[in-house]
Structure 1
Amino acid sequence: MINIKMEIITKYFPDLEEQQIKQLAALKELYTGWNEKINVISRKDIDNFYERHVLHSLSIAKIFSFPDGNNVLDLGTGGGFPGIPLAIYFPKVHFHLVDSINKKLTVVKEVAASIGLNNITTQHTRAEAITGKKFDTVVTRAVAPLKDLWKWSEHLARGNRQWAIGNGQGAMGNEQRATSNGQTIGNGLICLKGGDLTQEISDSGLSPQIFEIEKIFNEAYFKDKYLLYVPRPS
């Protein structure tokens, strides 16, 4: 029987395999237990865990489809978001989860081990200190400004590699409109953001493609929540 809180996940992802459902269903109890030892998620958000953390992370999977064998960097993963939900959804993609706070990575490693998630690695470091590694895509839910996220991640993404975009739901803007279904995009930065981003985008000097998450998930929480994609120059 599916945990009632999990219903919001299966509502939008009805084709999940049994193993994925089991792994996702186990997350709430694991994070609740760890949260009593290490504060990785606010109490308010724990009560809405599947919507505010798991579903929010999986909005990336509604738009982008990472090819098998890709390497994805989760920059500033905190307690493992969006990396852990994405690693469950894309079991043949490798995710490298990085954070500057080691105790949060302890939670990430223990949660991953508990659910048998073997396609992630972790690293205690800052993005600017990562050397000798390249990734197909960088994802982040970190609160840093877009200009900083781009500065930290631009050198980490491989160039000139193309892969398919998903259904393109929630696209907005004109020159910033998302690539149409069936076309391809290049490697780059994917970040989850909220609020009025006008000044932040202007300050960054970038022209990201913007997706409105509330048009992907019809839930009140996602009003003013966005997914931004910045391609790496070829």
Structure 2
Amino acid sequence: MKFNKKIKLINNYFTEIDKFKIEKFYILYKIYNFYYKNINIFSKKSFNGFFEKHCIHTLSISKIIKFLKKSIVLDVGTGVGFPGIPLAIMFNETKFILIDSIKKKIKIIQIIIDELHLNNVQIVCTRIENFEKKCNFILGRAVTQLSNFIKLVKKNIKFNYKNKIFNGIFYLKGKPFENEKKKQYLYIEYNIYNFIKKKFFFNKKIVYIPSLPIVKKK
């Protein structure tokens, strides 16, 4: 299968993604392209540059962490599958749970899961307020203000961890994050442009909020 230059961008920045997984990204694009043309799930501006704005953007989290096999990763307010689906393709031995309250979007994700044979992905149609399962990591992109997001999902984070870093939240943010820095929570900010030298990522950030284990006093 021949891949165009746009999809090769993925391999340029994520060399660990093999040809088999690249083929899945190609199929992913074809599915989204169909729904973009028929039911307008993306704006024209958003869909142009699909691989860069959606796939590479969400895969940038892998520059911070390589999810282990037994990890459980929860994508809250996934919409039509971001950031969960691209990361589930990349880390195909890690379990991903994608939740959203809009049935139409969940149906599209189910089609994607079936077409790509993503056996490591579970989808749930619900609101995070009603979801109680605990996971190692929580993902979010453009769901709500970060401080609100933390309040909603902190109940879902496990304290025992097996990855190289503490369990916690990975949230993809743009420039507006500058207005949230006065909020009282511990975070580490990563500039995506440091990893991916493309203009689109100049003001894009990954914000990691670790959930530190409680140490009992002796």
TM-score, length-normalised on structure 2? 0.93
1:198 aligned residue: 178
The alignment yields a C-alpha RMSD, in angstroms, of 1.3
Please point out which of 188, 206, 209 is paired with 1:227: 206
Mapped pair 1:216 → 2:195: yes
- Which whole-Å CA distance do the structure 2 matches of 1:186 and 1:14 have between them? 26
Greater Cα shift, 33-42 or 2-11: 33-42
1:58 aligned residue: 59
Please state how far the C-alpha of 1:162 moved relative to its aligned partner: 4.0
Other structure's SS at 1:186 match: coil
- Which whole-Å CA distance do the structure 2 matches of 1:3 and 1:108 have between them? 24
1:186-217 Cα shifts (integer Å, max 9, x gaps): 101110000142321313x1121000001110
Mapped pair 1:19 → 2:20: yes
Contact 1:40 1:78 survives alignment (8 Å)? no
2:216 aligned residue: none
2:88 aligned residue: 87
For residue 53 of structure 1, what is the amino acid of its counterpart? H
Other structure's SS at 2:170 match: strand
1:42-94 Cα shifts (integer Å, max 9, x gaps): 21121210000000010001111111121100011001001000000000001
Matched pairs, number: 212
TM-score, length-normalised on structure 1? 0.87
- Which whole-Å CA distance do the structure 2 matches of 1:162 and 1:186 have between them? 8
List gaps (5 residues or longer) in structure 1: 165-184
- After superposing on structure 2, the runs of 4+ consecutive aligned residues of structure 1 that deviate more than 4 Å are none
Contact 2:186 2:210 survives alignment (8 Å)? no
Contact 1:38 1:104 survives alignment (8 Å)? no
Please state how far the C-alpha of 1:142 moved relative to its aligned partner: 2.7
- Which whole-Å CA distance do the structure 2 matches of 1:63 and 1:116 have between them? 26
Identity over the aligned pairs, expressed in percent? 33
1:28 aligned residue: 29
Other structure's SS at 1:45 match: helix
Contact 1:77 1:142 survives alignment (8 Å)? no
- Which whole-Å CA distance do the structure 2 matches of 1:109 and 1:153 have between them? 23
Other structure's SS at 2:205 match: strand
Contact 1:210 1:226 survives alignment (8 Å)? yes
- Which whole-Å CA distance do the structure 1 matches of 2:13 and 2:41 have between them? 26
1:147-195 Cα shifts (integer Å, max 9, x gaps): 111011101010031412xxxxxxxxxxxxxxxxxxxx21011100001
Mapped pair 1:5 → 2:3: no
- Which whole-Å CA distance do the structure 1 matches of 2:21 and 2:8 have between them? 14
1:75-114 mapped onto 2 (5 Å cutoff) = 75-114=76-115
Greater Cα shift, 30-39 or 55-64: 30-39
For residue 10 of structure 2, what is the amino acid of its counterpart? I
